[in-house]
A and B are shown apart, each in its own frame.
Chain A
């Protein structure tokens, strides 16, 4: 392990990769900070840049974007009281009031430092848990992979925001789109309409760019003409020592930060929910455990620390299932999976054996990105604040062009440009219909995995489905999948019953 780690250090310390990480973190911070731009968009736009790079350089750039964008959202959450991404919603609760009280620099400094600590804690968890889990996963066969895919799909559909029916629909529809092209095992062409471009199905990256980037551009077009720019608060960095808060305040936040990091890592590992949920959960827990819960929401440091530690702690957490099982937990790790595949790398337990050096290069790149995020985000704050003022009607068309370049660059065909438009429209339809897009993506990615392993498993057990239930790991995951749906259904029925009772009493 130590040797692999040193190999990773050696790879990342090259001039090219260091420059890419600096750029990745800076661009990521901007995408995180500007409301409407997301980490997925940042990675989608920078993917074409990695086509010509090697796997180590390309993946280092992508993880740097991930780290930067997750943390960058705190800038607008504190200065504008608008979270740059859903991962910093809870940061606005106390970050905004702190800004109004003239403690903006302290809030920003604490946010940046505890984002850094959350990231580092999650990387330690990743480096500890991932190799162990990969060893276990090496023994998995088709039965286990099918069951894990089904479990992940149901968990994502039930945990996503909105109704379970819509979540399940999105996941199933994503799976249905994944059936386009040549079928596994017997190689029958399905739903291709004799269009040769569809023989290999829809490219995952094209789907991701369409669903998350193009739909966002269309959505913003709805309101950009009537939109008013929010007032950007100003902060003075003069006579600021360190990161704007005292050592006493720092040590006072350690229990809160530790708890929030654990929440962030735990939620990050679960498929379907990530930083968007963990920041709110850890904020609520911090408030409940606080000696002064009534002060939460009025501008206390604890709120900013809880939210920012937890959201960044999700980074390492979300990468655990991605690297060990090849299962992305959310949209950002899904697009990272696409980045891996561009370079011919299939995440999964074998990655730790066949590409051990690359895995540790990613770990080191994450650590370096976290350190650079700490320095760039705080000391480059003035530049990032200026970028918040770039008008959306200029920025979004340029982003769209970069999306087109990314799609075209995959196979040098305009067909992929049409495809991003198609999935952009589907994504926009989801937004209007209140259907969560994450299950669609996960269904699209895990669908082929589930189908291939189902058919392989059935071949192994001579067409007998019982094999999936008698296998202990497979059976346990399928049971968990049923339980997760049942739990959600019971919860919904109970909520409905309570609402009826309240209405009857009123």
Chain B
């Protein structure tokens, strides 16, 4: 229960922070009278800040009773899913960043095959046998199929990279 309330408090702080940042950015916009391009952003910034305050107030209120249905469902779902594996999430995000960052330089066919292979390895369930040969084959076939289908079938100019420079 305490964890849930702390989480709600953190969400309130985040909402208020977003509202204030957006307000600060809105104040940088040129002022051209009451109804100008900053009018709606001011309303939005004010609304986000207000909602952040409401969320903070709600999270600070003393507990009035047992968990709500929503909280029960959330708690049950979390229990059923087991502990969240944030390490895998971080690795996945890192891989996506590397993939996007090198896509133009290395080209879609090579970069995609590399990304897929490493991502398969990262996501392989614990206790599941890692079949490197199958992973490599799936990665290469998927990358090549997607590239050929979109490049030649749908005229989508995916970055080809150095592979096609020779």
Contact status B92-A176, CB under 8 Å: no
Contact status A51-B154, CB under 8 Å: yes
Contact status A226-B123, CB under 8 Å: no
Chain A: CB-nearest residue to B36: A186
- Assembly CA distance A401 to B113 (angstroms): 10
A372 to chain B, nearest CB (A): 23
Q: Give B22-38 as 1s and 0s: 1 = Cβ < 8 Å from A's Cβ atoms.
A: 10010001101011111
Q: Give A160-185 as 1s and 0s: 1 = Cβ < 8 Å from B's Cβ atoms.
A: 01110110110011011001000101
B99 to chain A, nearest CB (A): 7
A311 to chain B, nearest CB (A): 20
Within 8 Å by CB of A225, from B32, B104, B124, lies B124
The verdict on A400 contacting chain B, using a C-beta distance below 8 Å, is: yes
B8 to chain A, nearest CB (A): 8
| Chain A neighbourhood of B81, CB < 8 A | 222-223
Known contacts A51-B154, A51-B156, A172-B44; decide if A188 and B82 are in contact (CB<8 Å): no
Known contacts A393-B123, A404-B99; decide if A496 and B64 are in contact (CB<8 Å): yes
Number of interface residues of B (CB under 8 A): 71
Known contacts A221-B123, A400-B96; decide if A463 and B34 are in contact (CB<8 Å): yes
Within 8 Å by CB of A398, from B92, B93, B142, lies B142
B24 to chain A, nearest CB (A): 11
A392 to chain B, nearest CB (A): 7
User: Which of A122-130, A234-242, A409-417 participates in binding chain B?
Assistant: A409-417
- Assembly CA distance A394 to B131 (angstroms): 12
A-B pair count, CB < 8 Å, reads 174
Contact status A173-B18, CB under 8 Å: yes
User: Which of A12-20, A264-272, A450-458 participates in binding chain B?
Assistant: A450-458
- Assembly CA distance A421 to B93 (angstroms): 9
The verdict on A502 contacting chain B, using a C-beta distance below 8 Å, is: yes
Q: Give A434-460 as 1s and 0s: 1 = Cβ < 8 Å from B's Cβ atoms.
A: 110000000000000011001100100
| Chain A neighbourhood of B148, CB < 8 A | none
Contact status A190-B103, CB under 8 Å: no
Contact status A165-B58, CB under 8 Å: yes
Interface residues of B in 112-157 (CB under 8 A from A): 112, 115-116, 119-120, 122-126, 128, 138, 142-143, 146, 150, 153-157
Within 8 Å by CB of B88, from A52, A161, A172, A222, lies A222
Contact status B48-A222, CB under 8 Å: no
| Chain A neighbourhood of B150, CB < 8 A | 48, 405, 409
B60 to chain A, nearest CB (A): 13
Contact status A502-B65, CB under 8 Å: yes
| Chain A neighbourhood of B86, CB < 8 A | 222
Contact status A435-B156, CB under 8 Å: no
| Chain B neighbourhood of A414, CB < 8 A | 100, 103-104, 159
Within 8 Å by CB of B55, from A165, A185, A418, A463, lies A165
Within 8 Å by CB of B100, from A163, A396, A418, lies A418
The verdict on B84 contacting chain A, using a C-beta distance below 8 Å, is: yes
- Assembly CA distance A449 to B39 (angstroms): 15
| Chain A neighbourhood of B97, CB < 8 A | 421
Q: Give A20-34 as 1s and 0s: 1 = Cβ < 8 Å from B's Cβ atoms.
A: 000000000000000
The verdict on A293 contacting chain B, using a C-beta distance below 8 Å, is: no
Contact status A172-B93, CB under 8 Å: no
A157 to chain B, nearest CB (A): 10
Contact status B85-A225, CB under 8 Å: yes
The verdict on B110 contacting chain A, using a C-beta distance below 8 Å, is: no
Interface residues of A in 37-82 (CB under 8 A from B): 48-49, 51-52
Contact status B41-A463, CB under 8 Å: no
Number of interface residues of A (CB under 8 A): 67
- Assembly CA distance A214 to B86 (angstroms): 16
| Chain A neighbourhood of B93, CB < 8 A | 218, 421, 425
Q: Give B60-74 as 1s and 0s: 1 = Cβ < 8 Å from A's Cβ atoms.
A: 000011100010001
| Chain A neighbourhood of B112, CB < 8 A | 401
Contact status B44-A224, CB under 8 Å: no
| Chain A neighbourhood of B35, CB < 8 A | 455, 458, 463
| Chain A neighbourhood of B104, CB < 8 A | 414
Chain A: CB-nearest residue to B83: A226
B18 to chain A, nearest CB (A): 7
Chain A: CB-nearest residue to B33: A463
A205 to chain B, nearest CB (A): 14
| Chain A neighbourhood of B146, CB < 8 A | 401-402, 405
A308 to chain B, nearest CB (A): 23
- Assembly CA distance A222 to B86 (angstroms): 6
Contact status B156-A409, CB under 8 Å: yes
Contact status B70-A161, CB under 8 Å: yes
| Chain A neighbourhood of B64, CB < 8 A | 496, 499-500, 503
Chain A: CB-nearest residue to B103: A414
Known contacts A51-B156, A166-B55, A217-B92; decide if A222 and B84 are in contact (CB<8 Å): yes
Interface residues of A in 237-271 (CB under 8 A from B): none
The verdict on A191 contacting chain B, using a C-beta distance below 8 Å, is: yes
Chain B: CB-nearest residue to A176: B44
- Assembly CA distance A433 to B15 (angstroms): 11
- Assembly CA distance A400 to B38 (angstroms): 37
The verdict on A408 contacting chain B, using a C-beta distance below 8 Å, is: yes
B7 to chain A, nearest CB (A): 7
The verdict on A380 contacting chain B, using a C-beta distance below 8 Å, is: no
List the 4 shortest-distance A-B pairs measured between CB atoms, nearest first.
Answer: A499-B65, A183-B37, A393-B123, A397-B119
Can you name 20 A-B pairs with beta carbons within 8 Å? Answer: A48-B154, A51-B155, A165-B55, A166-B11, A172-B44, A173-B48, A188-B36, A214-B96, A218-B93, A221-B85, A222-B88, A224-B125, A225-B124, A391-B125, A405-B156, A418-B100, A424-B96, A434-B74, A454-B40, A503-B64
Residues of chain B having any CB pair with chain A under 8 Å: 7, 11, 14-15, 18, 22, 25, 29-30, 32, 34-41, 44-45, 47-48, 51-52, 54-55, 58, 64-66, 70, 74, 81-86, 88-89, 92-93, 96-97, 99-100, 103-104, 112, 115-116, 119-120, 122-126, 128, 138, 142-143, 146, 150, 153-159
